[in-house]
Chains A and B, each alone.
Chain A
Amino acid sequence: MSNTSENPNPSSSSAKMTLKTSDNELFEVEEAVAMKFCTVKQYFEDEKDSDVAARGSTTVIPLPNVHSAVLTMLISYGKKLPQSNAVADNHEEEETKKKERKKYEQGLLKNLMPGELLDLISAANYLDFKEGLEFFNQALADHIQNKSVEYVRKFFGIKNDYEPHEEEKYREEYAWAFEGIECWLIGELKQFMAKTKTLDIAGTLLGIKPALIVASFSVRGLNSLDSNILKPEMIAPGENILAAWINAIGPTGLDSNT
C-alpha cells in the first residue's frame, strides 16, 4: 500500500522534484521536465516501488556527475521542448512554439564555449536526456563540419602528434577529402558571387541632414552664363554607383557604361 497522500500524482504538471548537483546545489524542477532525463525517471520509478517512497516528495535525487551550471542549461532546454503531458496545441500554437525554440537554440549556441558544449554533451548522456543529447551532438558536429584541420586542433586543444613526413603522407592519402572541401568552398564562393543585388528605391528624400559632401572632382565655381548661379547646378551621387538598365544592351552599346 503506497502513501498516495505524500506522493504527488505523476500526471499533474505542478508536481516538482528536487535534484542535487555535484556542487551541492538544489534544483526544484517540474516533474514533466525532469522526466525527460531518463536517469532521473528511472530513479523516481525505482523509488516509487520501494518503501522509501513513503518519505514523500521531499526525496532529493543526487546527480553527482552534473555541475549546477550545466544542469541550469539542460533544464531550460528541457522546458522549451514539447511536454509529453501538455494539452495538444493547435497548429498555429505549435508553429509559434517551434519558432521560439529555434530562436532559443540559436541564442544558446552563440555564446557557448567548446568546453561548455562538451560538458553539456557528457551531462546529457549521463542523464540519458535523448533530445538534449541529439541537439548538442548535432551542434558540435555542425560546428566542426567543413572547418580546417588547424581550426579543429585549436577548438579541441589538440597538439598535433604527427611527424611532418607522416602528416604529408596522410594528407596525400586523404587528398580526395581536401579536394572535396576545396570544391565545397569554391561552390560556396560562386554562390555568393552570383547573388543578385536589389535596389530599394526610396524616391526623393528631403531634409537629410547633414547634407552629403560633394566629390572632390566635381566642378565648383560660377556658372559661365550667369554668375549668380553657383556650380554644380544639379547634383547626383558621383561615386560607387550601381547602374542598371532594362534592356540587354546598355544605352551606349559599349560593354561598360558610366
Chain B
Amino acid sequence: MLRCKSLLSQTINKKRKKNKSKNKNKNSNTRVSKKQNYEEEEDCEEGFNLKTSAAPSHTHGVQPLGNLYINPGSINSRNTGLGNLQTLTDELVLDILGLLGGTHLGVLATVSKSFYVFTNHEPLWRNLVLENLNAGFLYNGSWKSTFVAACYPSFDVSSVGVSGLRVSDFYSDYLFQSWLCANLEMKPEWLQRDNIIRRKGISVEDFVLNFEEPNKPVLLEGCLDNWVALQNWDRDYLLRLCGDVQFAVGPVDMKLQEYFRYSDQVREERPLYLFDPKFAEKVPKLGSEYEVPAYFREDLFGVLGNERPDYRWIIMGPAGSGSSFHIDPNSTSAWNAVIRGSKKWILFPPDVVPPGVHPSPDGAEVACPVSIIEWFMNFYGATKNWEKKPIECICKAGEVIFVPNGWWHLVINLEESIAITQNFVSRRNLLNVLDFLKRPNANALVSGTRDRVNLHDKFKNAIETSFPGTIDQLVQKAEEKKAQQKQSFWDSVTDSKVGAFKFSF
C-alpha cells in the first residue's frame, strides 16, 4: 500500500492533466453542508504529513479518485459494489444512507464491500448519535461504536468497528478527503505568518483611538495576569469543580467528564466543540475567576439585563476543533482570551470575502468548506499572492485578541485549549448594531436571543432610558463626519472644474 505522502503528490500531478477532460458537475459553488471544492494546490510538492497517531493510509484502503487513472485497466470497486447506485455521486449516496436508521445501516454493510465502506462513514453515525441519543451517550472510540454500545448494550462492542476490511481498487475523492482532513497535521507553513499588531500595557484611550475606532484587530498581552483562571483552570481542576455539569456541545449537552472522554479519543474532520453561553450561570465560581479586561468594559447590551442576547462563552476543544469563517452576529465586536493551549487565527476585513467562502446575498447563510483543515488545504494558498494579506496570528495562553465588528475570522485550536470569549457593544459600534437589528430579515440574522424581531426596539428604548441622548449625539457625530467628507469631494470637483474652464477658454 503506497504511503499517503506519495499518493497525494501523484494524484495532484495527474489531476493537473486530467482536469480538462473530467466532467465537473457544476462544481463552482460549495453548498452549505457537505460538498467540497477539490481545487489544485500550488505548492503540492511537499505532500502532507499525517498526525503521528494516525494510520499510514485510509482505514479501509480508500484511495483518491485520481489514483484510478494511474492504474491502467483497473476497475473502481466502488462502482461494482454499488450496482446501479453507482451513477449517483458520493454525496448523494451518503445523503440517502443518512435517511436510514442505525439498524438498517448495519445490515447494509454486509451487502457488498463498497456498501461496507460507505456505511462506515463516521459522520453518518455521528448524526444518528446526536439526533437520537441526546439523553446522553459515552463516546466509545468511534461514533459507530458509541451508537451500538448505547442501543445494543448486550452486544460485545469491542468487536465492533475494529474490522480489518481493506478494499482494493476503491477510489473515491469524497471519502478519501474526509479521512485525510481528519488525520492531517497542520502544515508549518500555514502557521508561519504572524502579522497582527501586538501591544502590551496600553491605555484604554490608546486602544479606543488606535484600534476600536478604526476597527482594527490587535493582540493584547499581559491583561490576564490577574486572572485566577489563568492559574487554576486545567483539566483536573475543572473536573473537580464541575465534572458532572452539563455543558452545551454543539447540538447536544454533555457532562464535562464525558466531553473530555470524547475529546481524548476523537479523530474526525470537525470535532465537536464545547461552546457554552451560560457557563457562569451554571457554575458561578467559573464566572468569578476571570474579569473583563479594562479595554472592553463598556458593554451597552448590559442595559437589557437578563434579556440581552448571549454574550459570553467558555470554549473548550481538542486540536483541530474551531470555527470556520464567519462574522460575529448582531454586528458586535469581540475579545477572545486563551487560558490554556493555543489558537491559530485568520482575519479578513469586512469587505473582503475570504477565498472559498460564499455568503448568501442577505448574509443569512454562508457556504464554506466542511472542515477548517480543508480550507487550509484548498484555499489558504490563494492568499499568498495577494497584496493585502489577511491578518494572522497564533494566540497563546495569557493573550487576548480583539476582533473588530464585521471582520471575517477563522479559528483553529492547535492543541487542547480552554478559552473565554465575550461579544460586546460600545459607543463606537452602537449605531452599526442598531442598523443591523433594524434589518428586515432580522429573524434570520439576529442571534443569541429568542426575541429576535423586537430586539431593536427593546434595545433602543433601553439605551434611551439609561443613557438619554446618546444615540442622537452619535448620529449627529456620524453625520458631521459624512458632511466633512462630502465637502472635500465637492472641493476637488470645483477645483478641477475651474481648471477645465480655464483650459477650454
A residues bordering B, Cβ < 8 Å? 39, 114-115, 118-119, 121-122, 125-126, 128, 137-138, 140-142, 144-146, 148-149, 152-153, 155-162, 166-167, 169-181, 184
Do A174 and B106 form a contact, CB below 8 Å, given A122-B87, A138-B99?
Answer: yes
* 7 smallest beta-carbon distances between A and B, as pairs: A177-B106, A156-B83, A180-B103, A141-B99, A158-B83, A176-B152, A176-B155
Q: Are A137 and B103 in contact (CB under 8 A)?
A: no
Q: Which residues of A contact B106 (CB under 8 A)?
A: 174, 176-178, 180
Do A137 and B95 form a contact, CB below 8 Å, given A152-B111, A180-B106?
Answer: yes
Q: Could you tell me the distance between the alpha carbons of A95 and B3 in the complex, rounded to whole angstroms?
A: 59
Task: Output the residue of B25, B82, B85, B155 with the most chain A CB within 10 A.
Answer: B85
Q: Are B110 and A170 in contact (CB under 8 A)?
A: yes
Do A152 and B109 form a contact, CB below 8 Å, given A39-B26, A114-B84, A137-B96?
Answer: no
| Shortest beta-carbon distance from A143 to chain B in Å | 10
Do A178 and B92 form a contact, CB below 8 Å, given A39-B26, A158-B112?
Answer: no
Q: Are B25 and A177 in contact (CB under 8 A)?
A: no
Q: Which residues of B contact A170 (CB under 8 A)?
A: 109-110, 116, 163, 165
18 other A-B residue contacts (CB within 8 Å) besides A145-B104, A156-B82, A176-B151? A115-B84, A122-B88, A126-B26, A138-B99, A145-B101, A148-B107, A149-B107, A149-B108, A155-B83, A156-B84, A159-B80, A161-B113, A162-B113, A170-B109, A170-B165, A176-B155, A180-B102, A181-B107
Q: Are B152 and A179 in contact (CB under 8 A)?
A: yes
What 0/1 pattern do residues 285 to 296 of B give for CB contact below 8 A with A? 000000000000
Q: Are B80 and A152 in contact (CB under 8 A)?
A: no
Nearest-CB residue, chain A, relative to B86: A156
B residues bordering A, Cβ < 8 Å? 25-26, 77, 80-85, 87-89, 92, 95-97, 99-116, 148, 151-152, 155, 159-160, 163, 165
Q: Could you tell me the distance between the alpha carbons of A139 and B18 in the complex, rounded to whole angstroms?
A: 36
Nearest-CB residue, chain A, relative to B101: A145
Q: Could you tell me the distance between the alpha carbons of A152 and B112 in the complex, rounded to whole angstroms?
A: 10
A-B contact pairs, 11 of them (CB 8 A): A118-B88, A122-B87, A125-B88, A141-B96, A148-B107, A153-B111, A156-B82, A156-B83, A157-B84, A174-B107, A180-B151
Q: Could you tell me the distance between the alpha carbons of A171 and B159 in the complex, rounded to whole angstroms?
A: 12
Q: Are B110 and A167 in contact (CB under 8 A)?
A: yes
Q: Are B88 and A121 in contact (CB under 8 A)?
A: yes
| Shortest beta-carbon distance from A176 to chain B in Å | 4
Q: Could you tell me the distance between the alpha carbons of A41 and B106 in the complex, rounded to whole angstroms?
A: 39
Q: Could you tell me the distance between the alpha carbons of A122 and B87 in the complex, rounded to whole angstroms?
A: 8
Chain A contact surface mostly: helix
| Shortest beta-carbon distance from B105 to chain A in Å | 7
Q: Are A156 and B107 in contact (CB under 8 A)?
A: no
Q: Are A157 and B83 in contact (CB under 8 A)?
A: yes
Q: Which residues of B contact A166 (CB under 8 A)?
A: 165
| Shortest beta-carbon distance from A124 to chain B in Å | 10
Count of chain A to chain B residue pairs whose CB atoms are closer than 8 Å in the complex: 121
Q: Which residues of A contact B115 (CB under 8 A)?
A: 158
Q: Which residues of B contact A125 (CB under 8 A)?
A: 88-89, 92
Nearest-CB residue, chain A, relative to B153: A176
| Shortest beta-carbon distance from A41 to chain B in Å | 13
Nearest-CB residue, chain B, relative to A166: B165
Nearest-CB residue, chain B, relative to A151: B111
Q: Are B104 and A162 in contact (CB under 8 A)?
A: no
Q: Which residues of A contact B99 (CB under 8 A)?
A: 137-138, 141-142
| Shortest beta-carbon distance from B186 to chain A in Å | 34
| Shortest beta-carbon distance from B123 to chain A in Å | 16
Q: Which residues of B contact A149 (CB under 8 A)?
A: 107-108, 110-111
Contact of A126 among B25, B77, B109, B114 (CB under 8 A): B25
Q: Are B163 and A177 in contact (CB under 8 A)?
A: no
| Shortest beta-carbon distance from A240 to chain B in Å | 39
Nearest-CB residue, chain B, relative to A146: B104
Q: Could you tell me the distance between the alpha carbons of A138 and B116 in the complex, rounded to whole angstroms?
A: 21
Q: Could you tell me the distance between the alpha carbons of A167 and B89 in the complex, rounded to whole angstroms?
A: 26
| Shortest beta-carbon distance from B161 to chain A in Å | 8
| Shortest beta-carbon distance from A45 to chain B in Å | 11
Do A181 and B113 form a contact, CB below 8 Å, given A153-B83, A173-B163?
Answer: no
Q: Are A184 and B92 in contact (CB under 8 A)?
A: no
Q: Could you tell me the distance between the alpha carbons of A140 and B88 in the complex, rounded to whole angstroms?
A: 12
| Shortest beta-carbon distance from A158 to chain B in Å | 4
Q: Could you tell me the distance between the alpha carbons of A127 and B447 in the complex, rounded to whole angstroms?
A: 33
Q: Which residues of A contact B25 (CB under 8 A)?
A: 126
| Shortest beta-carbon distance from A162 to chain B in Å | 7
Q: Are B103 and A184 in contact (CB under 8 A)?
A: yes
Q: Which residues of A contact B100 (CB under 8 A)?
A: 141, 144-145
| Shortest beta-carbon distance from B24 to chain A in Å | 12
| Shortest beta-carbon distance from B125 to chain A in Å | 12
Q: Could you tell me the distance between the alpha carbons of A244 and B113 in the complex, rounded to whole angstroms?
A: 55
Nearest-CB residue, chain B, relative to A39: B26
| Shortest beta-carbon distance from A75 to chain B in Å | 20
Q: Are B159 and A173 in contact (CB under 8 A)?
A: yes
Q: Are A174 and B109 in contact (CB under 8 A)?
A: yes
Q: Which residues of B contact A153 (CB under 8 A)?
A: 83, 111-112
Q: Which residues of A contact B165 (CB under 8 A)?
A: 166, 170
| Shortest beta-carbon distance from B361 to chain A in Å | 11
Q: Which residues of A contact B102 (CB under 8 A)?
A: 177, 180
Q: Which residues of A contact B155 (CB under 8 A)?
A: 175-176, 179
Q: Are A162 and B89 in contact (CB under 8 A)?
A: no
Q: Which residues of A contact B96 (CB under 8 A)?
A: 121, 137, 140-141
Q: Could you tell me the distance between the alpha carbons of A114 and B85 in the complex, rounded to whole angstroms?
A: 9
Nearest-CB residue, chain A, relative to B89: A125
| Shortest beta-carbon distance from B77 to chain A in Å | 7
Q: Which residues of B contact A122 (CB under 8 A)?
A: 87-88, 92
Q: Could you tell me the distance between the alpha carbons of A173 and B165 in the complex, rounded to whole angstroms?
A: 11
Q: Are A118 and B107 in contact (CB under 8 A)?
A: no
Q: Could you tell me the distance between the alpha carbons of A162 and B89 in the complex, rounded to whole angstroms?
A: 23
Q: Which residues of A contact B89 (CB under 8 A)?
A: 125
| Shortest beta-carbon distance from A191 to chain B in Å | 17
Q: Could you tell me the distance between the alpha carbons of A166 and B110 in the complex, rounded to whole angstroms?
A: 10
Q: Which residues of A contact B84 (CB under 8 A)?
A: 114-115, 118, 156-157
Nearest-CB residue, chain B, relative to A42: B26
Q: Could you tell me the distance between the alpha carbons of A17 and B504 in the complex, rounded to whole angstroms?
A: 54
Q: Which residues of A contact B85 (CB under 8 A)?
A: 118, 156
Q: Which residues of A contact B83 (CB under 8 A)?
A: 153, 155-159
Q: Could you tell me the distance between the alpha carbons of A125 and B25 in the complex, rounded to whole angstroms?
A: 10
Contact of A121 among B92, B103, B159 (CB under 8 A): B92
| Shortest beta-carbon distance from B102 to chain A in Å | 8
| Shortest beta-carbon distance from B126 to chain A in Å | 17
Q: Could you tell me the distance between the alpha carbons of A118 and B84 in the complex, rounded to whole angstroms?
A: 8
Q: Could you tell me the distance between the alpha carbons of A173 and B119 in the complex, rounded to whole angstroms?
A: 13
